[in-house]
A and B are shown apart, each in its own frame.
Chain A
Amino acid sequence: MSRYLARRLLQMIPLVFGLSVIIFLVLALAPGDPVDLLIFGNPQIRPEDVVRLKHFYGLDQPMYLRYFKWLGAAVLHGDLGYSRTYKTPVFSLIGARVSNSLWLTIPAFFLALLVAVPVGIYSALHQYSARDYAATFLTFFGVSIPVFWFGIMMIYLFAVWHPWSAISALAWLRLPAGGFASSGVSEGVAVYADRIQYMILPVIVLSLLFMAGYTRFTRSSMLEVVRQDYVRTARAKGLETRVVINKHALKNAMIPLVTIIALSVPGLFAGAPLTETVFGWPGIGQLLVTSVQGADFAVAQGIIMVLAGLVIVFNLLADVAYALLDPRIRYD
């Protein structure tokens, strides 16, 4: 295992390097730079101002030079550059936005698991029943329904229409129409209490996406396991169904799910661009979209590199976790 680990770690170096080249090239080769975009808000800008600004931002330098400058700063100093839009170091900007995204993705992730695993197990054990079909329908609904539509519908239902508010006992059930925080709330516990009301709708919408996939995986994994000989043997020995499922079947059924979960973790850090945009949540996904649109190269490069790095690391962790969970798996 240690040789395997060492080999994988060494392989990561050229992989990350190659990724950095691709990420840099994709953004640098895209037409238009921030100074070009500036011209259209200011038709009176002079040609000499354009030249000066391009020189200031190094946009007139050859691409390979810009790449090595960026790489050098990132590797030697951990400096991912400055955001031209926000005028802050990219690293601290990403850090703040990632933590905003985690406020959504982690609760959505756990909510999804909380619902998906029991529903998946139930569906598998009652295959082709009415409830299995209902669960399947909801799963496909979750996977098929576009987030940008479902999100805005939830906003309209809970913030604009709220048809139940005629019943005074339910009048309190009204949620904000997107956003991140109420103005003026900046200190102490009040910040968290305030944040929760803004989180409810985006977490529900986001969890639906996770839920759909996890339910299907749990169901199919469970179906495969309950048909195994050892499960049939356990039943034949007279054990209770609860014991057969929880003690014998579940652990084995969870192996593929654990792998999927481990591979989903980088996605938690990547945020949810569509959900964040619809709900006005200032997360990392939304930042990536706005930085690409606004030609803020340093930010876009920084985000993609960090996320790519996380994917590589968590892929390795998933493989290791797989080996630890399943004694049949051996690496050398």
Chain B
Amino acid sequence: MPNKLRWFALLLALVFAIGYPALVGAAPGGPASGTDTVNLFTQQEPSCFNPTADACQMFVASMVRSTIFVDAVGLSSTWKYSPEMVEKIPNLKDGDWKVLPNGKMQVTWKIRQGFTWQDGAPVTAQDWIWARFVNLHPDFPTAGRDVAKRVDNILAPDPYTMVVQWNKKYFGANLSVAGSSIIPKHATEKLFRAAPSKFDQAWGTGVPTLGNGPYILKQWQKGASITVEANPNWKGTPLQPANPTVKRINFRFISDTNTLIANVLSGSADATDETAIPFVSGLELEKRLKSEGRTDVVLRAEPGLVWEHIDLNTDNLHLKDKRVRQALIYAINRDELVNQLFEGKQVVSHSFLPEKHYAYNKAVKKYNFDPAKAKALLAEAGYTPGSDGILQKGGQRLSLVFMTTAGNRTREQVQQVLQSQWKTVGVEVKIQNQPARAYFGDTLPSRKFEMAMFAWVFSPQADCEGLYTGDTIPSPEHHEGQNYSGYKNDEVTKICHAIPEELDQAKRVEMFKRAQDLWVEDLPVIPLYLRSDYTSHKAGLQAWLPTGADTPVTWNAPAWKWSR
């Protein structure tokens, strides 16, 4: 070997010999940028912060927005509602929530005094009234007006009192003022009235965006990061205390999962949110950190409200028979599936509601793994084995197309497991996946599927109206409605329409229980499991409490602090 090359090889060997321990060395456990800052990494960038505009409904947008804006009521990680900008949550017992003789309702809210917008103007009733006005304006692209339309009017007998007049009963009347959140009237009225259809472009898309919350939007480097800094005038609420130790939160956007994980491993990321690390990657990362003996980074999987399931098209020749649908679920071993693929961290679901939901029916019928029963049901339904072992009836093979989003490794693994389990009972399943846009944009709304696996994202107050009501089945001509399986049960339809108007929670729970019993018996959908979301944070960051709901992890950002 020539001399020069020899020396170079020796040098390289020396570097690696000395540096080898550094290959598995721990990243710094402390904050990346000081004890007054948290660098929170996520995969997507928020579009905007208008609370009701359709394009601003992304989860990451609500994550940043919840540091800048505070609404009347907040939700904690234990799923308890807390009065934030109001003195108390109205209830029927105290009389600040009244049901009127004509079936209408009146809910009175008392706003906490002393809170201001970040320019010093007081937060008053007019700001909620204005937000509702914007939300309902015909020229403004709101995401949904379902709740806002149930309100006739909001009166303000004084600046700190709101009397909300509901046109019919609605159980969620004490969870938000009128379903429209809060917008600073004094700072946005002129802008809105000048061009209502362009308001979502004119406000909430950059600095400054005036908020009333514990943090102020300071910097937005589009495509790269958002920085919020502590509001010196923040008075504190039960969930979001005053004088936060963390004075600055830098939200950084990295769309590639591997690069994001590299930031976790290198110590640049103090924390990652619920959308940053996909479950399978989180599982692998957790194992890796354990094998490397690293305790400086904590990963946690929080079971949530994302419900993975398989919609069955009940108009299909085979699937219109309930016995076939039940046979399909008996034939699959969901417990083994979640243990093998997810190490049990994503729990099997038995109903369209998650266990944490207040109205979950614990006594609902459970379809445990029972291939013998599956075969018996299929035989009862008139299926006999063909020469290739696949069941058939009236000359039609029991062959079904199973679809989901292409490129999703977890879903593809699940499909393969289920496909082989169904084959053992004589059901042929062909996998045919599509890109998300085609799948969600056309296939599902047009009901051009036989079995379709995907997830719904629920809220803690979710109900079944729209999803399992017989009058919300979309058609190929009209994509509206989310009852993709085409489920029609008159009693379930009636119950699901009635639930939002039942004020007594105990009665609602009974109604939900009945709806779940019927639904589980009819089984228009195969419930699979509830997805868990991984978040990560450095071990030194305290009070990091993901909620597992649609409330993001920043719900208590002012309470975060670094341990010494």
Contact = CB atoms under 8 A, between A and B. Distances in A.
Contacts of B15: 163-164, 167
Most buried by A among B39, B256, B481: B256
Contacts of B443: 31
Nearest to B206: A88
A166 B19 contact: yes
B330 to A, nearest CB: 27
A30 B437 contact: yes
Interface stretch (A7-15, A67-75, A180-188, A312-320): A180-188
Contacts of B467: 43
Contacts of A42: 57, 143-144, 457
B54 interface: yes
Nearest to B202: A87
A321 B344 CA distance: 65
Nearest to B47: A85
Given A47-B472, A183-B250, A163 B146 contact: no
A155 B258 CA distance: 10
Interface residues of B, number: 75
A162 B222 CA distance: 30
Interface string A85-105: 111100000001100100000
B146 A49 contact: yes
B221 A46 contact: no
A41 B58 contact: yes
Interface stretch (A51-59, A114-122, A255-263): A51-59
A38 B441 CA distance: 9
B22 A166 contact: yes
A1 to B, nearest CB: 43
Contact of B200 (A32, A37, A41, A87): A87
B141 A56 contact: yes
Most chain A beta carbons < 10 A, residue from B223, B442, B459, B463: B223
Given A31-B443, A88-B205, A290 B48 contact: no
A43 B223 contact: no
A46 B466 contact: yes
Interface in B319-369: none
B259 A178 contact: yes
A187 B558 CA distance: 28
A117 to B, nearest CB: 25
B520 to A, nearest CB: 19
A218 interface: no
Contact of A156 (B145, B262, B458, B463): B262
A100 B224 CA distance: 11
Interface in A114-166: 148, 152, 155-156, 159-166
A35 B418 CA distance: 32
Given A43-B466, A85-B47, A163-B20, A280 B201 contact: no
Contact of A179 (B224, B227, B258, B474): B224
A277 interface: yes
B254 A280 contact: yes
Interface stretch (B125-133, B263-271, B511-519): B263-271
Nearest to A30: B437
Nearest to A31: B442
B376 interface: no
B16 interface: yes
A163 B16 contact: yes
Given A86-B47, A96-B222, A159-B266, A53 B141 contact: yes
Interface in B436-455: 436-438, 440-443, 445, 454
B91 interface: no
A178 B482 contact: no
A248 interface: no
A157 to B, nearest CB: 10
Interface string B211-224: 00000000101111
Interface string B476-507: 00111110000000000000000000000000
Contacts of A43: 456-458, 462, 466-467, 482
B54 A167 contact: no
A184 B250 contact: yes
Nearest to A290: B255
A166 B57 contact: no
A58 to B, nearest CB: 12
A165 B54 contact: no
B262 A178 contact: yes
Nearest to B445: A36
Contacts of B141: 53, 56-57
B263 A178 contact: yes
Contacts of A277: 255-256
B225 interface: yes
A167 B19 contact: yes
Nearest to A37: B440
A177 B326 CA distance: 49
A207 interface: no
B255 A39 contact: no
B259 A183 contact: no
Given A47-B474, A177-B259, 14 more contacts: A30-B438, A36-B445, A37-B437, A44-B463, A44-B465, A45-B466, A47-B480, A53-B141, A87-B201, A152-B259, A161-B22, A163-B15, A179-B268, A295-B441
14 contacts: A30-B437, A32-B441, A38-B57, A40-B454, A47-B474, A49-B145, A53-B54, A97-B223, A159-B268, A167-B19, A183-B33, A183-B219, A278-B259, A282-B253
